[in-house]
Amino acid sequence: MIHSRSIDITGVKEFDGLTTRFRISYDGDSRRLELIHPGQRLKPGKLLSSLEAVHLGPVFMEVGFDTLGYLRRNSEFLSVDVQGLLRTVGKDRCVRLVRKNIDPFLSKCNLVKATEEEARVMAPASTIVATARRLLHKGAQYAIITRGRSGSLLVKKYGRAVHIPSVPESEVVDRTGAGDIFIGSWLATFLSVGDALWAGAVGAAFASLSVRAIGLSKFRFARSELFRRASWVYTNSRLVKG
């Protein structure tokens, strides 16, 4: 499928050994995450050229400050999903969130993405908008806080805060990876059109379509349906005080 879509994977590296592996159990809107095997720590490697954008999506402490600094120097736009920077495990191997000093990531990245729980661990405040503002105070230009069925929050530094609704979806099969799909869609769309809110609408639409199936089937849908949903999200987004 990758080759048939002409997707460039020349920069993809293969490593010996296992990657990070989890066991995920869902109970309604909550989930239990158990670490099966930690992956290798990633090290800076030679890039083919400077890149327009890089997204850092660690899941369990794979990315260190050395890699962060290297990618900051070699990319125009750098985004990070903080989930893998805040995770730890107990004796039961269950993953928990703990507050850590990740200010170098927050200061060097243009976009910070977090779930509401992760954001409140990093920057507790009276409202979720205030929490996002605290994150942006570290240096990023944009913060995206995902909130499951409650939608997401897009906040621009020195700018507005917008509530982006989730698309109602009755055929929920697998929610795994929806947040990654959201942020990947946001980044690709933002780089293409420069509209952060429209990018958020496309991200929300893509995420809603992805939960209807598992595996590669997540990505099999009509382009027209994606943009129909994105238009609905865009129209129903609203400003939030704070």
Give residue-wise pLDDT tens across range 36-73: 999 888 888 776 677 899 999 999 999 999 999 999 99
pTM for the complete prediction? Answer: 0.91
Type of residue at 112: V
Whether residue 1 is predicted with pLDDT greater than 70 in this model: the reply is: no
Give residue-wise pLDDT tens across range 131-142: 999 999 999 999
User: So what's the pLDDT on residue 174?
Assistant: 81
User: For residue 144, which of 173, 170, 115, 165 has the smallest C-alpha distance?
Assistant: 115
Q: In sequence order, which residues have a C-beta less than 8 Å from that of residue 220 and are 6 or more positions away? A: 213
pLDDT cut 70: percent of the chain above it: 99
Whether residue 232 is predicted with pLDDT greater than 90 in this model: the reply is: yes
Task: At 178, list the tokens.
Answer: 């929806």
Helix, strand or coil, per DSSP, at residue 221: coil
Give residue-wise pLDDT tens across range 202-225: 999 999 999 888 887 788 888 999
CATH 3.40.1190.20 fits 21-240, yes or no: yes
Task: At 224, list the tokens.
Answer: 């027209």
Give residue-wise pLDDT tens across range 182-208: 999 999 999 999 999 999 999 999 999
Q: What H or E segment, with its residue span, contains residue 34?
A: strand 30-37
User: So what's the pLDDT on residue 21?
Assistant: 92
**Is 26 or 114 the better-scoring residue by pLDDT?**
114
Across 104-118, b (16+ Cβ under 10 Å) vs e yields ebbebbbbbbbbbeb
Determine the angle formed by the axes of helices 178-193 and 196-210, rounding to 10 degrees: 150
The Cα–Cα gap between 140 and 56 comes to 14
User: So what's the pLDDT on residue 47?
Assistant: 66
| Residues facing 107 on adjacent strands | none
Whether residue 5 is predicted with pLDDT greater than 80 in this model: the reply is: no
Q: Average model confidence (pLDDT) for the chain?
A: 92
The band of 31, judged by pLDDT with boundaries at 50, 70 and 90, is confident
User: So what's the pLDDT on residue 48?
Assistant: 62
The band of 12, judged by pLDDT with boundaries at 50, 70 and 90, is confident
Whether residue 11 is predicted with pLDDT greater than 80 in this model: the reply is: no
The band of 2, judged by pLDDT with boundaries at 50, 70 and 90, is confident
Helix, strand or coil, per DSSP, at residue 136: helix
Task: At 101, list the tokens.
Answer: 């000093």
The Cα–Cα gap between 173 and 165 comes to 20
Whether residue 19 is predicted with pLDDT greater than 90 in this model: the reply is: no
Whether residue 150 is predicted with pLDDT greater than 80 in this model: the reply is: yes
